[in-house]
Amino acid sequence: MNLLPKSHEEFSQQEYWNTFFKKRGSKAFEWYGEYPELCGLLHKYIKPKDAVLVIGCGNSVLSADLYDVGYRNITNIDISHVVVRQMRESQGKDRPDMAYLQMDALDMTFPDGRFSAVLDKGTLDALMPDDSGEAVARVDKLFLGLDRVLRVGGRYVCVSLLQEHILRELLGFFPPSGWMFRVCRCFEAEQKASEAGNEANFPVFFVVCTKFKKLPNVKPVLELSLTGEQIQRVESPGDVAAAVRSLQHSALVLSRLGRGSLADHGEVCLDLCRPDEDSPRYTVHVLDQQFSRVGGRRYAAFIVPQGRETEWLFATPEGRDALLKSAGYDRLAVVALCRGHAFQGLDAVREELNESVLHLAPPGLARSTKIPFLSVGADVGHRDVCYRGHSAISGDFVVEEVEGDGGHLFRRLVFLSNQNVVQSEARLKLLKSRKGKPRKVVDVGHLACEHHTYMTVGVALAARDGSEVGAAVIGLGGGGLCTFLQHCFSRIRVTAVDIDGTMLEVATEYFDLVQDERLDVYIRDGIHFIQQAAEKGTNYHCVLFDVDSKTPGSPMSCPPQQFLEPAVLEDVKKCVGEKGIFVLNLVCRVPDLRRDVINNLKSVFASVISYKLEQEVNEIVFCSAQTGMEEYKWKNCVEEAANKVNALAKKKKLQSSDLVNVRNFVCALQFNL
């Protein structure tokens, strides 16, 4: 397995381990594996010539198996005289050179440096069931004893499930003492547990601690080998703990996926990473519909081409659910290809994903099943980065070119803090140049964001008499809306405001924004701009808010909530006057919060009209202070404005067909008068 799953879900560590140990009971050998599952790593870290000490041997036959393949210098200890007597009787005749001694691993009487390897299969986990003071004291005593009986260059090899408190004690003792510390994953032991039908299939780890003399000012060596043979050097104990914890969390998710349907519990999301890379290579959403009876199609994976991962069908839970139903499978794994990675083609992606996708299969699916891979098109698409930048306001971002639906080429601005959202997009077209090489230019007639179409209707609504219109647009982004307004309306003066000066540079350099006598851009805080405009008595026919929130996970991602404070709304009302229009792009996922927003708007404006976009989270809200307007009059005005936008777009050759489906738009309007 060459990809490392990382779960997006968070689990209670206490609940996680309580569930595990309740199901495990006392059958430790079934969970930690036996010789056939452990031999690959055992032979790698313990050699036949080593003087081996096995602590807490119990009645395991692991030592006997090692003896039979050439390990002759093995000493086994256990605190139970009963089990020691039993093992002497059962093993003494066939393996006369192997020693069994009754001895407490916390009070060993061997001479210093007696052994070159100590093997611990589950004993540490048994000694430290929790992080109580008593348990910590026991383990500290064990580690000091191991340090004494192991010679320099010797290894403590511990097979463990690495609960958080156990890993913390290991990291707290061995690396600071100068020992090299490596954590390996034993897939074979996990596979054996899975084949045995154990419901809680958790990662099994080999912790390999190699003793060296402690040298001053030498940084400890910390390594991970969690996928195959590849070894990754990490910087800190925290990195080790984070990697192990992520793997354990993911294992719980995989265990859940293997036990039943997710149909009533929503989808599960995981990242797949290469072990030597920090950034995810793939993001996988797994979702179910009710499992069909015998003969139904069980499971498939869907590869989303690069550049299309932000489309509604692939980027939203509702879209992925529609894709699941359309594909007709019980379970679908929707796989997006992440930025910053190279992909050699669809066949290479399938080959790389095959094993990981199999781990996400529904219960009862045979390991030998060939998983079908679905996609749109015959390749993985392409994503060319034009520019990487950093903004003090928005963080890291990229400008990239991708091939979208219909073969069109698009240029996009994406903030890396929210990679599933396209901040701005422009469709490109090729123009011939005198040098013969086609030149890429922005198609100014293409409105990539559907909500910009209806914000444009708001501008037309404010210019009903055909006179010159002044518009203030708060939120520039890549400038797509401002550029369209500039080309669609001959008699318009747009004042665009954005707090982030970097966005103006990007819009000018990569999205063909041109400032002229009809478009000015100001770099300042939008709220302060509106406040100052209201104080100065500056009037606009329309004010448009198209501002995103910089707070990840905010229930209202557009605009930031401070833009809808009563004082700000009153300032907007002063700017547009009685006959002007306030147009708001609202993205709110919490119904109660959305209701509060509408009520706040109604407390300031006489009329509040909203339109929810189909298959989008955006809602466009038109607000007016004009009184005495009944619903039918507003419908007529909005219909007239929408027809005007369609006519202007065709007249200016920005669009060849209607931009707005006027009938559907007007019928879907909600009036809060």
pLDDT in tens, 557-594: 899 999 999 999 999 999 999 999 999 999 998 899 99
Say if residue 650's pLDDT is above 80.
yes
Say if residue 296's pLDDT is above 70.
no
For residue 497, give the 3-state DSSP assignment: strand
**Lowest pLDDT segment from 60-74, 275-289, 322-336, 531-545:** 275-289
pLDDT (0 to 100) of residue 195: 62
How far apart CA 419 and CA 402 sit, in angstroms, is 14
- Token pair 């907007």: residue: 572
Single-letter amino acid, residue 384: D
- Asked if 283 contacts 336 with a C-beta cutoff of 8 angstroms, the reply is yes
pLDDT (0 to 100) of residue 262: 84
The three-state DSSP-derived secondary structure of 275-308 is CCCCCCCEEEEEEECCCCCCCCCCEEEEEECECC
Annotation: CATH topology of 13-255: Rossmann fold (3.40.50)
Confidence label for 5 from pLDDT (cuts 50, 70 and 90): low
Q: Which of 109-113, 440-444, 553-557 has the highest mean pLDDT?
A: 109-113
Mean pLDDT of 461-468: 80
Dihedrals φ, ψ of 645, to 5°?
-60, -45
Mean pLDDT of 595-604: 94
How far apart CA 416 and CA 397 sit, in angstroms, is 5
**Lowest pLDDT segment from 75-84, 338-347, 392-401, 412-421:** 412-421
pLDDT (0 to 100) of residue 19: 52
Residue percentage of the chain with pLDDT more than 90: 60
- Asked if 51 contacts 72 with a C-beta cutoff of 8 angstroms, the reply is no
pLDDT (0 to 100) of residue 8: 58
Q: Name the DSSP class of 3.
A: -
How far apart CA 242 and CA 237 sit, in angstroms, is 9
Helix (H) / strand (E) element for 320: namely: helix 317-327
Say if residue 485's pLDDT is above 90.
yes
pLDDT (0 to 100) of residue 31: 53
Confidence label for 295 from pLDDT (cuts 50, 70 and 90): low
pLDDT in tens, 202-237: 789 999 999 998 888 888 899 999 877 788 899 999
- Token pair 């199901």: residue: 23
How many Cβ atoms are within 10 Å of 522's Cβ, its own excluded? 14
Helices 13-24/237-259 angle, 10° precision: 60
pLDDT in tens, 379-410: 888 888 999 999 998 899 999 998 876 778 89
**DSSP-assigned states of every residue in 222-276:** EEEE-STT--EEESSHHHHHHHHHHHHHHHHHHHHHHHS--TTT--EEEEEE-TT
Query: The dihedral of CA 583, 587, 592, 593: what is its sign?
Result: negative
- Tokens coding 78: 């256990």
Say if residue 378's pLDDT is above 80.
no
Confidence label for 249 from pLDDT (cuts 50, 70 and 90): confident
Query: The dihedral of CA 663, 666, 670, 673: what is its sign?
Result: negative
How far apart CA 436 and CA 32 sit, in angstroms, is 68
Give the start-end residues of each E strand in 305-382. Answer: 331-337, 373-375
Helix (H) / strand (E) element for 55: namely: strand 52-55
pLDDT (0 to 100) of residue 88: 92
Say if residue 16's pLDDT is above 80.
no
Say if residue 292's pLDDT is above 80.
no
Say if residue 13's pLDDT is above 50.
no
How far apart CA 456 and CA 462 sit, in angstroms, is 10
Q: How many Cα atoms sit within 13 Å of 327 on the Cβ side?
A: 28
How far apart CA 303 and CA 272 sit, in angstroms, is 14
Residue percentage of the chain with pLDDT more than 70: 91
Tell me the average pLDDT of the chain: 88
pLDDT (0 to 100) of residue 663: 94
Confidence label for 463 from pLDDT (cuts 50, 70 and 90): confident
**Lowest pLDDT segment from 39-53, 271-285, 598-612:** 271-285
In 540-555, which positions are buried (b, 16+ CB within 10 angstroms) versus exposed (e)? bbbbbbbbbbbeeebe
Annotation: CATH topology of 450-672: Rossmann fold (3.40.50)
Give the start-end residues of each E strand in 365-450. Answer: 373-375, 383-391, 395-403, 409-415, 424-431, 439-442
Say if residue 29's pLDDT is above 50.
no
Say if residue 10's pLDDT is above 50.
no
pLDDT (0 to 100) of residue 615: 74
How far apart CA 60 and CA 236 sit, in angstroms, is 35
**Lowest pLDDT segment from 82-91, 419-428, 517-526:** 419-428
pTM, two decimals, is 0.72
Q: How many Cα atoms sit within 13 Å of 245 on the Cβ side?
A: 18
pLDDT in tens, 130-145: 899 999 999 999 999 9
Q: Name the DSSP class of 476.
A: -
